[in-house]
Amino acid sequence: MSPSQESSQTPSQTIGPFFAYGLTARQYAYPGAQVTDAIVADETVPGPRIRIEGRVLDGAGIAVPDALVEIWQAGPDGRYAADARGNSGFSGFGRQGTGTDPECRFSFVTVKPGSVGAEHAPHVNVIVFMRGLLSHLYTRLYFDDEASANARDPILALVPCSRAGNRSPARPSIASTSASRVPRRRCSSMSEHAG
Amino acid sequence: MSARSAADRDWDSHPPLLWPDYKSTALRAPQQPLVKIARGLSELTGPAYGGPPLTELDRDLTRNGRRNGEPLGERIIVTGRVLDETGAPVPNTLVEIWQANAAGRYVHVADQHDAPLDPNFVGAGRCLTDADGVYRFLTVKPGAYSWRNHPNAWRPNHIHFSLLGPAIASRLVTQMYFPGDPLLAFDPIFLGVPVAARERLIARFSLEATQPEYALGFLFDIVLRGAQGTLMETPFES
């Protein structure tokens, strides 16, 4: 194929129920490697340390036990890492399935991101894959101690007010709730950005 | 890594999120429309593989799960190029695959299909594309298996693919199918793809890629969203 020839996108297909030994082998105790895990920033990385925890809920409100959640975030300086696992101890990239926790939670250990550019409030990009989802979904997680930055954020402003209940940014003061809004966003305000 | 631009997700190529024939979509598809946003650094950057160097074993599924012999089944080579929408190769990007064994059974503990496990086959591999965007795996042809979506439901032979691509907007998870599989006509997951795009998920048999006296070769090229290149550092300032 010549480099100038335009090509059409390869269709997406569901990740299915059996991804664990392929994409998250270490987490699920299968043999084999895993490109990244729940540790997005190790203890050497300076900055406010946070834990992002939550569940993926289906349309009936039941926690999904076979979802895969990936996050991609900037560091405290607002810059994205060049490599998934660079020398700095900060990858910015996390991947975890919801099938090893009794309550189907995912959990990431990281540092709070800084603002990416002047307009954007600190946020974490979230990608959700699961059986029953033929194409993955993207959303963002914001922080509720960034009220003024959130008010200016052009992406957060796109979420219709009718879905305001699903816009509530995460509360860093209560770690266990910090990403629990993600599933609701999945059902109501997943971004199309990447879509 | 980063991308120069990310075209929209082309919904003429991708299956819809709600697809009633695939029963699990009913409660798992979003109930509200997606919100389209302007893409910035958050979407046009993405992780690059930075782990330990990958070895031949990582991409040879006929060897990386051995305990006391060779895995059973028909050995195959699966190779192709990862390209962006301009047709340019996507080099040095991570390709991860997982699949059932030759009998149609996954090693995953949740797989209850009544087919034998193979003690010498795990069914997972990974590799990086080379400078020309080429990836290559050795494996065995996965078997079909039944599932409970509808009466007498069977998944066609397939291999799951996951690709990082240059940015999170180019992230793709998909499945590769085999030419001539009679089950494709009955599979709601495959049939969720718009008609014109379905062929893109079916690998082509290639005598050229076939290794004499060893394994059949199949070609499967993958096109990711967007265009590669160096991203401007200040896309938001205008």
Q: Is A50 inside any structural domain?
A: yes
Quick check: A133 contacting B, CB < 8 Å?
yes
pLDDT band at A87 (very low <50, low <70, confident <90, very high): low
Q: How many domains does chain B have?
A: 1
Does residue A182 have a pLDDT over 50?
no
Q: Do residues A159 and A41 touch, judged by C-beta distance below 8 A?
A: no
Q: Is A107 inside any structural domain?
A: yes
Contact B173 A72 (CB under 8 A): no
Q: How many domains does chain A have?
A: 1
Looking at chain A, which residue has its C-alpha nearest residue B172?
A12
**Which residue among B7, B222, B236 sits closest to A117, beta carbon to beta carbon?**
B236
Structural domain range at position B11: 3-228
> What mean pLDDT is predicted for residues A111-126?
93
CA distance linking residue B200 with residue A11, whole number of Å: 7
**pLDDT of res. A163:** 67
- Distance (Å) from the alpha carbon of A46 to chain B's nearest alpha carbon: 20
CATH number at residue A156: 2.60.130.10
Q: Is A102 inside any structural domain?
A: yes
CATH number at residue B196: 2.60.130.10
**Which residue among A6, A117, A195 sits closest to B34, beta carbon to beta carbon?**
A195
B4 flagged as catalytic: no
Q: Do residues A162 and B32 touch, judged by C-beta distance below 8 A?
A: no
On average, the pLDDT of chain A sits at 82
User: Over its length of 238 residues, how does chain B's per-residue pLDDT go in tens digits?
Assistant: 777 776 789 999 999 999 999 999 999 999 889 998 888 888 889 998 888 899 999 999 999 999 999 999 999 999 999 999 999 999 999 999 999 999 999 999 899 899 999 999 999 999 999 999 999 999 999 999 999 999 999 999 999 999 999 999 999 999 999 999 999 999 999 999 999 999 999 999 999 999 999 999 999 999 999 876 544 433 332 2
**pLDDT of res. A83:** 58
**pLDDT of res. A32:** 85
Q: Is B238 inside any structural domain?
A: no
Looking at chain B, which residue has its C-alpha nearest residue A85?
B50
Q: Is B234 inside any structural domain?
A: no
Contact B8 A195 (CB under 8 A): yes
pLDDT band at A47 (very low <50, low <70, confident <90, very high): very high
B158 flagged as catalytic: yes
Nearest to A94 by CA among A46, A126, A139: A126
B145 flagged as catalytic: yes
Burial A159-180 (b: 16+ CB within 10 A, else e): beeeeeebbebbebeeeeebbb
Contact B52 A33 (CB under 8 A): yes
- Distance (Å) from the alpha carbon of B130 to chain A's nearest alpha carbon: 16
CA distance linking residue A95 with residue A23, whole number of Å: 9
Contact B30 A195 (CB under 8 A): no
Does residue A170 have a pLDDT over 70?
no
| Marked catalytic residue, from B113, B160, B171, B204 | B160
| Biggest CA pair distance of chain A | 54
pLDDT band at A88 (very low <50, low <70, confident <90, very high): confident
| Marked catalytic residue, from B22, B135, B145, B177 | B145
Contacts of A3-7 spanning 24+ positions with Cβ under 8 A: A3/B86, A3/B87, A3/B88, A3/B89, A4/B86, A4/B87, A5/B87, A6/B85, A6/B86, A6/B87, A7/B83, A7/B84, A7/B85, A7/B86, A7/B87, A7/B223
pLDDT band at A169 (very low <50, low <70, confident <90, very high): low
Nearest to B180 by CA among B141, B221, B138, B222: B141
End-to-end CA distance of chain B: 23
Amino acid letter, B46? G
Pairing mode of beta strands B158-163, B153-155: unpaired
**pLDDT of res. B234:** 34
Structural domain range at position A161: 20-188
Per the rule left: phi > 0, alpha: psi between -120 and 50, beta: everything else, B229 is left
Chain pair A-B, CB pairs under 8 angstroms: 279
Does residue A193 have a pLDDT over 70?
no
- Distance (Å) from the alpha carbon of B176 to chain A's nearest alpha carbon: 9
Q: Is B233 inside any structural domain?
A: no
Q: Is A13 inside any structural domain?
A: no
Does residue A1 have a pLDDT over 50?
no
**pLDDT of res. A118:** 84
Burial B111-121 (b: 16+ CB within 10 A, else e): beeebeebebb
Q: Is B237 inside any structural domain?
A: no
Q: Do residues B182 and B163 touch, judged by C-beta distance below 8 A?
A: no
Q: Which residues contact A170 (CB under 8 A, 6 or more apart)?
A: A52, A141, A142, A143, A144, A177, A178, A179, A180, A181
CA distance linking residue B86 with residue B94, whole number of Å: 20
Percent pLDDT > 90 in chain A is 68
**Which residue among A20, A81, A187 sits closest to B30, beta carbon to beta carbon?**
A187
CA distance linking residue A77 with residue A79, whole number of Å: 6
Residue, of A182 and A161, whose pLDDT is higher: A161
Q: Is A61 inside any structural domain?
A: yes
Residue, of B41 and A27, whose pLDDT is higher: A27
Q: Which of chain B's residues have a Cβ under 8 Å away from the Cβ of A189?
A: 32, 35
**pTM of the full structure:** 0.91
Q: Which of chain B's residues have a Cβ under 8 Å away from the Cβ of A13?
A: 15, 160, 173-175, 189-190, 193, 201
Does residue A165 have a pLDDT over 60?
no
Q: Which of chain A's residues have a Cβ under 8 Å away from the Cβ of B168?
A: 72, 125, 127, 138, 194
